């Protein structure tokens, strides 16, 4: 597996927490009047953290396991907005969500780091993406991380504008 990708995956929990901490307390649940241009799902800062946690555990960890254990499985997408409503992301403790995510990501990186070439090349079909390999899933996970760092930066930009105008 590409060392730069593994490094990025391993460092992401600290980056996520730092970007989340950069959001002023009174804006952790703030939603802008328009989400136009956001590079991730339209989630508040706290909801971004909860989403990343749940996609790690119920999305990518499950997808990796199934792709490694089953023959060419179909890997369904997750309705992130339904999950956010069901779990009331806005009432979640950010500290607990971040800790749960850190622990889950450590398990993910341990798994990925242990894979051999034949395991990385195992095929699956990922809803919305089509044919994929375990290695491809690793890259999609890394891309997902970057989208949410971008989403938090986008929110910080909107917050800066909101505070300046107010």
- Asked if pLDDT for residue 164 goes beyond 90, the answer is no
- Asked if pLDDT for residue 163 goes beyond 90, the answer is no
pLDDT digits (tens, 9 = 90+) for 4-51: 999 999 999 999 999 999 999 999 999 999 999 999 999 999 999 999
Q: Cα angle vertex 149, ends 145, 153, to 5°?
A: 165
CATH of the domain at 42: 1.20.120.450
The pLDDT of residue 2: 87
**How many domains is the chain partitioned into structurally?**
1
The pLDDT of residue 59: 98
- Asked if pLDDT for residue 103 goes beyond 60, the answer is yes
Mean pLDDT of the chain: 96
The pLDDT of residue 32: 96
Average pLDDT, integer, range 85-108 = 98
Q: Cα angle vertex 159, ends 158, 165, to 5°?
A: 90
Q: Note the pTM of the prediction, 2 decimals.
A: 0.95
DSSP string, the chain: --HHHHHHHHHHHHHHHHHHHHS-GGGTT---S--TT-SS-S--HHHHHHHHHHIIIIIIHHHHHHHHHSSS-EE----HHHHHHHHTGGGS-HHHHHHHHHHHHHHHHHHHHH--HHHHT-EEEETTTEEEEHHHHHHHHHHHHHHHHHHHHHHHHHHHHHHHH-
- Asked if pLDDT for residue 76 goes beyond 90, the answer is yes
- Asked if pLDDT for residue 166 goes beyond 60, the answer is no
- With cut-offs at 50, 70 and 90, classify the pLDDT of residue 165: low
- With cut-offs at 50, 70 and 90, classify the pLDDT of residue 77: very high
The pLDDT of residue 27: 97
Containing structural domain, residue 104: 3-30+38-165
């Amino acid at each position: 597996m590409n060392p730069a990708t593994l490094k990025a995956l391993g460092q992401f929990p600290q980056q996520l927490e730092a970007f989340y901490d950069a959001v002023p307390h009174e804006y952790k649940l703030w939603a802008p009047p328009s989400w136009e241009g956001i590079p991730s799902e339209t989630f508040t800062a706290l909801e971004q953290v909860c989403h990343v946690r749940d996609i790690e555990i119920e999305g990518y960890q499950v997808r990796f396991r199934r792709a490694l254990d089953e023959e060419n499985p179909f890997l369904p997408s997750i309705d992130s907005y339904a999950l956010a409503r069901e779990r009331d992301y806005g009432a979640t403790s950010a500290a607990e969500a971040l800790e749960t995510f850190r622990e889950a990501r450590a398990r993910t990186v341990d798994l990925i780091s242990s894979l051999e070439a034949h395991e990385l090349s195992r095929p699956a079909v990922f809803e919305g993406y089509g044919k994929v390999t375990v290695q491809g899933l690793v890259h999609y996970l890394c891309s997902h991380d970057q989208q949410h760092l971008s989403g938090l930066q986008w929110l910080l930009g909107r917050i800066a504008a909101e505070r300046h105008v107010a």
